[in-house]
Amino acid sequence: MVIKKGVIYHKRGDTAEFDLNVTLDGQPITNYEAVFSVKKTLKDTNYVLQKQVVDGHVRLEHSDTQDLPFGEYYYDIQIKIDDGTAEGMYTTLGAYKYYLEADVTTRWEHDTDN
């Protein structure tokens, strides 16, 4: 996975990870919840992929993208910061483009006898 200026390039079926460092007024924030969401188009109501950010970390497993068609998608990361109010404070990073790149080997049928 490569991320350039917010745009993600990810090989279909590859395991990938990235960290999310949240700051407010230049200070690190640790009391937040966040979700990484991917859609085929910005107008879609259904997500093709959605992952919770866990301890500032997003991990995409092989199975998350293996069966998705390669091509152009869009993603954002919605963050809810616990600011002491009942509602919390919401902010969204993106939308950015997410390119799911083609692969040749889609199933690995490894012969252990050879």
Coil, strand or helix at 91:
strand
Residue 39 lies in domain: 2-101
| pLDDT at residue number 65 | 96
- State the Cα–Cα distance between residues 35 and 76, nearest whole angstrom: 8
Q: How many other C-beta atoms can be found within 10 angstroms of the C-beta atom of residue 92?
A: 12
Domain count, the chain: 1
Buried b or exposed e, range 6-17, using 16+ CB within 10 angstroms: eebebbbbbebe
Q: Which amino acid is at 7?
A: V
| 10 token code pair | 């990810």
pLDDT string in tens for the chain (114-residue length): 999 999 999 999 999 999 999 988 898 988 899 999 999 999 999 999 999 999 999 999 999 999 999 999 999 999 999 888 888 889 999 999 999 999 887 666 665 555
59: in domain: yes
Q: Is residue 50 part of a domain?
A: yes
